Copies of this chain bind each other. A is one copy, B any other.
């Protein structure tokens, strides 16, 4: 048996699709001693998380909590609980994660009715409405912020579908929650999931979810039990609610982390936080464009949390990322699926969305691109100008 040494992770600046580098206060919170899952002090911590999550989701939903799993567990939880065998679900598909939703619908014994659009292109809600009309679907699923493309879909248009039929609206807010408004109640969203490690600013490992009364009524009226015991929301709500019925041993340290991360969100204020994400994203985009690079997504549909930029002709995508990581300890993301090798994904989420990081990234990327034989213009001035 070899002897393992202590693990000292290198200090990276994480500007990829997540996890993002997080505030020292959040890291510190995890070194607090663990508590039992029914300790009154721990239950108060859970109550605080729920109350702050409702604020961030902009909802009054009682069933608002964190799942003991990553963002993907949020996707599975909403779908596995809402879908019964044979149910049709209309899925708006324009990226990797909306495509994954279709897979999970089928695994949940549902039938995914895909409405496909080009990756990085907005969803035409008229087409969705017409597909919905000709289906028996009572659920429509959409990704608010596509992590694979950096595309922002107007969430406020989803409720127009209610004119077609009184469907359940399901939204993936993995890359938006905490970085741009989701307005769950205002936008009539019935089920929504996110993750802990992006704009919320905690480490990966938890999935915030919220279910409207309408969604919970649908779930409570199931003819068959949810196949997913671990993510059965009717069991989870009994632990998070007044009954405090044991279901699983809550991930104590992760709860400490997200409580502190949410506290930072609340201290900053939602509006100010959204504004910060918007400004720094605009600054980065202006800089990248001034360098001669092209963004993947049209300006009015760009996310503020994740910016996808096309790899210029003649540049080897992976080499640039590797040099950024190895020579400058900066992580950015690669493309997924059909965009593999064709884009970089630059995240500005939570604590790393700062003016300084934007300038550092632009300067470093310019240097690396030059070393790779691509003469980029300077993005610094355009970025500075865009920041005012």
* A interface residues with partner B (beta carbon < 8 Å): 1, 3-4, 6-12, 14, 16, 18-19, 21-22, 27-37, 39, 41-42, 45, 48, 52, 55, 68-73, 76, 100, 103-104, 106-109, 195, 197, 203-205, 225-231, 246-254, 256-257, 259-260, 262-263, 266-267, 325, 331, 336
Contact = CB atoms under 8 A, between A and B. Distances in A.
Contacts of A195: 249
Q: Which of A8, A22, A197, A247 has the most chain B CB atoms closer than 10 A to its own CB?
A: A197
Nearest to A45: B7
Contact of A226 (B11, B41, B107, B254): B107
Nearest to A18: B249
Interface SS majority for chain A:
loop
A202 B238 CA distance: 26
Given A73-B230, A227-B109, A10 B336 contact: no
15 contacts: A1-B266, A3-B266, A9-B33, A12-B35, A27-B30, A39-B325, A68-B70, A70-B249, A70-B251, A72-B247, A100-B229, A104-B229, A109-B227, A203-B251, A228-B228
Contact of A68 (B52, B69, B336): B69
A22 B33 CA distance: 8
A5 B267 CA distance: 10
Contacts of A14: 34-36
Given A31-B31, A34-B21, A251-B203, A7 B259 contact: yes
Given A70-B68, A203-B252, A230-B76, A19 B34 contact: yes
Given A9-B35, A325-B39, A251 B48 contact: no
Given A106-B225, A107-B229, A205-B205, 10 more contacts: A4-B48, A10-B39, A19-B34, A21-B33, A27-B253, A69-B230, A73-B248, A204-B252, A205-B254, A227-B228
Given A230-B76, A248-B72, A257-B253, A12 B28 contact: no
Contacts of A228: 76, 107, 227-228
A109 B109 CA distance: 12
